[in-house]
Amino acid sequence: MAKTSNPVPAELLQLFDKFAAEVEGYGLVDRPDDEPPFGFVNLLEEYDAPAAIALLNQKAPSFYGHKEATFHAFCAWAVAPLEEDVRFDFIGIAIKELLAEAERKAANLNLGSNTATDMIARYYFAGSQFIWNIYTAFQGAASFRSFGSGDYVAEHLAPLEAQFNSIVKLLTCLHYVSSNRVNSHKKPSVNLGMRFLDKLPGQQTRSSTAAYEIWGDIKDNAALIYAASSIKVTPTETLLSVILKGELNYSRDYRFFRTWIRRAKYYCDTTLSKMSEELYEANSVPLAGVEPQEFSFTLKEEELKIANDLINRSMNSKI
């Protein structure tokens, strides 16, 4: 069998070997030995939410893009836990933005060489840890043919805004029922929440039928979804709304992460704990060790009257 010749000149290979040896270790950020790789946490079929929370809850910085791409993945999983393509789309969007930022920084140096600019962008501003742990794990540019355009977000999340609004109203009602402000022993339940939805006037919030359409898919993340709806990231948008629209902005939104998970833990402990054990455990297990943070519900006066009427009429019935 004829020996295959190497198409790359030996002197060029030596040059690149020397370059790699000197550059790859430059600016490495130490990470814990027991920290799972980015791909194991974010790119497998079963999402490792506890590992993602552990990273995102750290105050210490990590290597370039580590928290950014993980935050995007976590937000996607929070609202679409069964849609891994949505998660991959969010990750692809993050990687594209991170590469573009590194390239902008390199271009601003005005090096006069496209090759030098590209190498500085990749191996200095982005860095080898980003390239190997995130970009390569994502299968690089090949994956951009399928993910990173926002198409999956537009197809699977944006059309569900009305259903998510219904779910949020349902969860708000249950928050109210479980609060100390309700002078009754009525426990929160999904059925009670569904009846509450059916009593609401107008078309802004869909009926219980709309909520049922997605409840089975998102119920294990109900606390995270509800908590995200309670956090304003702009005067007109909540964390939940920007996730659903695919308009996540790490520099703007990540600062709310600890508030988000702490509010979700509070909802688990005060509301979901009074419901089914299965629902409580599914929501609370990823949040183990998170300190809860109290927050209030938001219901209009007419909605409060509807909730109170349902509570009073159901005190001696099972719904």
**pLDDT score of 123:** 87
This prediction has a pTM of 0.91
For the chain, helix, strand, coil in percent to 5 are 65, 0, 35
Q: Place 319 in a pLDDT band, splitting at 50, 70 and 90.
A: very low
**pLDDT score of 279:** 97
pLDDT tens across 245-297, in order? Answer: 999 999 999 999 999 999 999 999 999 999 999 999 999 999 999 999 999 99
Pick from 10-19, 225-234, 246-255, 266-275: least confident: 10-19
pLDDT tens across 28-49, in order? Answer: 899 999 999 999 999 999 999 9
Q: Place 179 in a pLDDT band, splitting at 50, 70 and 90.
A: confident
What percent of the chain is modeled with pLDDT above 70?
91
- Domain limits, the chain: 49-151, 158-314
Q: Place 24 in a pLDDT band, splitting at 50, 70 and 90.
A: confident
**pLDDT score of 4:** 59
Residue range 7-21: mean pLDDT, rounded: 79
Residue 177: Cβ-neighbour burial (10 angstroms; 0-12, 13-18, 19+): buried
Q: Is the pLDDT of residue 219 over 60?
A: yes
pLDDT tens across 145-175, in order? Answer: 678 678 888 888 888 988 999 999 999 999 9
Q: Place 12 in a pLDDT band, splitting at 50, 70 and 90.
A: confident
The HSE-up count of residue 96 (CA atoms within 13 Å, CB side) is 16
**Which has more pLDDT, 18 or 207?**
18
Distance between CA 283 and CA 224 in Å, rounded? 8
Residue whose C-alpha is closest to residue 295's, from 226, 240, 239? 226
Q: Is the pLDDT of residue 144 over 80?
A: no
Instruction: Take residue 80 and report the two structure tokens written for it.
Output: 């679409």
CB atoms within 10 A of CB 2: 4
Pick from 71-75, 83-87, 103-107, 120-124: least confident: 120-124
Pick from 15-29, 116-130, 254-268: least confident: 15-29
Distance between CA 139 and CA 147 in Å, rounded? 11
Q: Place 183 in a pLDDT band, splitting at 50, 70 and 90.
A: low
**pLDDT score of 205:** 47
Distance between CA 246 and CA 75 in Å, rounded? 10
- Residue 56: strand, helix, or coil: helix
Instruction: Take residue 287 and report the two structure tokens written for it.
Output: 């949040």
